[in-house]
Structure 1
Amino acid sequence: MGFENLDTIFYLILFFVGLFAGFIDSIVGGGGLITLPALIACGIPTHLSLATNKLQSVFGSFTAAMTYFRSTTMPYLTWGVLFTALGAALGSYGVLFVRDDKLKLIILICLTLTFLYTAFKPHLGKEDGEVKIKNIKVFYLIFGLILGFYDGFLGPGTGSFWIFVCVLFLGFNMKKASINTKIFNFSSNIIALFIFLWQYEVLWSVGLLMGLGQILGAFLGAKFVLKTNARFIKILFLFVVALTILKVAWDYFS
Structure 2
Amino acid sequence: MIEFAPEIIALLFAAAVAAGFVDAIAGGGGLITVPVLLAVGINPVAAIATNKIQGSFGTASATWTFWRKGRIDFALLKWPLIATVIGAALGAVVVSFVDATWLMVLLPLLLAGIAVYFLVGPKASDEDVHARLTPFAFGTVAGGIGFYDGFFGPGAGSFFALALVTLMGMGLTRATAHTKALNFSSNLVSVVVFAIGGHVLWAIGLIMAVGQVLGGWLGSHAAMRFGPKLIRPLLVVICIGMVIKLLSHPANPLRAWVEGLI
- Give the alignment's TM-score, normalised by structure 1: 0.93
User: Deviation at 1:250?
Assistant: 2.4
SS of the aligned residue for 2:125 comes to coil
User: Deviation at 1:132?
Assistant: 5.1
Q: Distance between the aligned counterparts of 2:214 and 2:73, measured in 1?
A: 24
- CA distances 1:22-70 after superposition (whole Å, capped 9, x unpaired): 0110011011111111100001111111111111111101111111112
Q: Does residue 1:160 correspond to 2:166, yes or no?
A: no
The one-letter code of the counterpart of 2:132 is I
Query: Where does residue 185 of structure 1 map in the other structure?
Result: 183
Query: Where does residue 212 of structure 2 map in the other structure?
Result: 214
Q: Distance between the aligned counterparts of 1:44 and 1:118, measured in 2?
A: 35
Q: Distance between the aligned counterparts of 1:129 and 1:59, measured in 2?
A: 29
Query: Where does residue 134 of structure 2 map in the other structure?
Result: 135
Which one of 43, 46, 64 corresponds to residue 45 of structure 1? 43
| CA RMSD between the two structures | 1.6
Q: Does residue 1:82 correspond to 2:90, yes or no?
A: no
Does the CA-based 8 Å contact 1:118-1:238 persist in structure 2? yes
Does the CA-based 8 Å contact 1:133-1:139 persist in structure 2? no
Matches within 5 A, 1:4-83: 5-69=3-67, 70-73=70-73, 75-83=75-83
User: Deviation at 1:179?
Assistant: 1.3
Which one of 235, 238, 247 corresponds to residue 237 of structure 1? 235
Does the CA-based 8 Å contact 1:84-1:184 persist in structure 2? yes
Deviates more, 1:16-25 or 1:200-209: 200-209
The one-letter code of the counterpart of 1:105 is V
Q: Does residue 1:110 correspond to 2:110, yes or no?
A: yes
Query: Where does residue 203 of structure 2 map in the other structure?
Result: 205
User: Deviation at 1:74?
Assistant: 6.1
Does the CA-based 8 Å contact 1:52-1:204 persist in structure 2? yes
Q: Distance between the aligned counterparts of 2:153 and 2:162, measured in 1?
A: 15
User: Deviation at 1:129?
Assistant: 6.0
User: Deviation at 1:133?
Assistant: 2.1
The one-letter code of the counterpart of 1:42 is V
Q: Distance between the aligned counterparts of 2:123 and 2:178, measured in 1?
A: 17
Runs (5+) with no aligned partner, structure 2: 257-262
Query: Where does residue 259 of structure 2 map in the other structure?
Result: none
Does the CA-based 8 Å contact 1:152-1:192 persist in structure 2? yes
User: Deviation at 1:92?
Assistant: 0.5
- Give the alignment's TM-score, normalised by structure 2: 0.90
Q: Distance between the aligned counterparts of 1:211 and 1:102, measured in 2?
A: 31
SS of the aligned residue for 1:90 comes to helix
SS of the aligned residue for 1:71 comes to coil
Does the CA-based 8 Å contact 1:30-1:160 persist in structure 2? yes
Q: Distance between the aligned counterparts of 1:224 and 1:19, measured in 2?
A: 14
The one-letter code of the counterpart of 2:210 is L
Runs (5+) with no aligned partner, structure 1: none
